[in-house]
Amino acid sequence: MNSHPLPRITPSKLGVSARGIIEFLDQIETLGLDLHSLMIVKSGQIVTEGWWEPYKANAPHLLYSLSKSFTSTAIGIAEHEGLLSINDTVVSFFPEKVEGDVHPFTAGLKIRHLLAMASGHVIDTWPAISVGDPDMVRNFLAIEPIKPPGTHFCYNQGCTYTLSAIISKVTGGTLLEYLRSRLFTPMGVETVEWLESPEGITQGFSGLYLETESIAKFGILQLHLGEWNGDQLVPAEYLKTAHEKHVENFDSSESSDWQQGYGFQFWVCRYDAYRGDGAFGQLCVMIPQCEAVVVCTAALADMQTELDTVWKYILPALSGSFEQDNAGDEELSLRLRNLTSSSSDLAIVDGPLSATFARSATVAPFTDHLLSLRVESSKNGTTLTLVTHDGEHNFDLVASKWSEGTLPSRHQPFLKASLLGGWVANDRFIVEVVWPTSPHRLLLRAEVGIESVFEAKWVTEPLGSAAKSKSVIESVRQNHA
């Protein structure tokens, strides 16, 4: 929920081309990109907003690594409050976590190096530090950098996690608690969750859940260099520095928008823009030349294509030079009210009156709690009962309509789920499961036979960091039950 919503205005009143945005939507559909939401802000006002059904405006969405830009913002606030300096060494905060002779690269590692993903490590440390000893900062500091800090870019979750741990060390609370009072509440952002590690430290590098409009507010804050409604929430000088290139990354990727340099947990883009982004298409793109922010939540693998489509269609539409076009504005408004998301075009047929399916021997990650499903004919369609470890969950399925209910998941904390599907043949049943708070969509395929079983398969499989936060997922779930 946003207690202070952003103002809305029709695109052409700010010289924005609604028809250009329609072309963007057409191309997204042609390319088969699974967008969940789109919000475009111009001069502090929302000119475009839409959610692909069953995703909703009031459902917070997992941001994955877009979370990192919020962590960076917290560091800037903490430095302004005198709690730290970005030139402080990391070991100065954790002397108890290093033993014996400290490698000179580790001893010289500074907060600014963590911010720039230039710790001197040459591979991501997360797989190593998140197993074994639960003290992940200790594990991080035990991995000696290969190169001098500040000289080499390596996208490293351990860097951002350690930044979060530093915030906890200097404040006595979590990163989320710190930002809630200093950033989220002043901006009117009420719905926010952030997963923690088993040791009680906010993930920092991932795990943040926000509504689309809250992401847009964050983008406006960045464009305005930390100023919000007359209050300076974040130091302007810090954000200027955070948005600039601090380390080259041209050889780290073949994708052009991942070769423009890296700031302090922000990516430098083409067209003098910068962004925070997260896996599977979570985007918050700041375009200073247009005084604009483009926000997307999604579930897609090719984020360069997503950005290319933004540059090709949305960037020209934001020039501010287009004349009043009431018809175009209305056409775009109608289009945005009728967006829908589905990974498959199912032709639903009549099936058996009832059938029960056990789970197949092949169990997809994060689905071991799904034990069986039962399908029964009903007056309006089909009643689907999913049996999990915590009980039964019923959904009334009607052809071509999303059915809403609750269903626990292993990869994210929110219970609300939407299902679409039914019998596609006399012996085959398919249903899509969407948690509107997650980028990930689950397909359940069941087949009648000698051994009637169902198989679960992710369209895009969740990343593994959620497995480290099961207890926190349960805690968040209880708060939203």
Q: What is the pLDDT of residue 165?
A: 98
Q: What is the pLDDT of residue 349?
A: 86
Per residue in 205-246, pLDDT (tens digit) is 999 999 999 999 999 999 999 999 999 999 999 999 999 999
Q: What is the pLDDT of residue 351?
A: 84
- Cβ atoms of 273 and 286 within 8 Å: the answer is yes
Closest CA to 74 of 168, 199, 148: 168
**CB neighbours of residue 391 within 10 Å:** 8
| Below-70 pLDDT ranges, the chain | 343-344, 465-481
Q: What is the pLDDT of residue 344?
A: 60
Per residue in 142-176, pLDDT (tens digit) is 999 999 999 999 999 999 999 999 999 999 999 99
Q: What is the pLDDT of residue 343?
A: 62
List phi, psi (to 5°) of 178: -65, -45
Residue 127 to residues 145, 149, 156: CA-CA distances in angstroms? 15, 20, 10
For every residue of 392-426, DSSP letters joined together read: EEEEEEBTTB-EEEE---SS-S--EEEEEEEEEET
- Cβ atoms of 239 and 75 within 8 Å: the answer is no
DSSP-assigned letter for residue 215? H
Two structure tokens written together for 89: 């060494």
Whose tokens are 């993930």? That residue is 203
Two structure tokens written together for 363: 């169990």
196 bridge partner residues:
202
The rounded radius of gyration (Å) of the Cα atoms in the chain is: 23
Q: What is the pLDDT of residue 476?
A: 46
285 bridge partner residues:
275, 294
pTM for the full predicted model: 0.95
Those residues with Cβ within 8 angstroms of residue 81's Cβ, 6 or more apart along the chain or in another chain: none
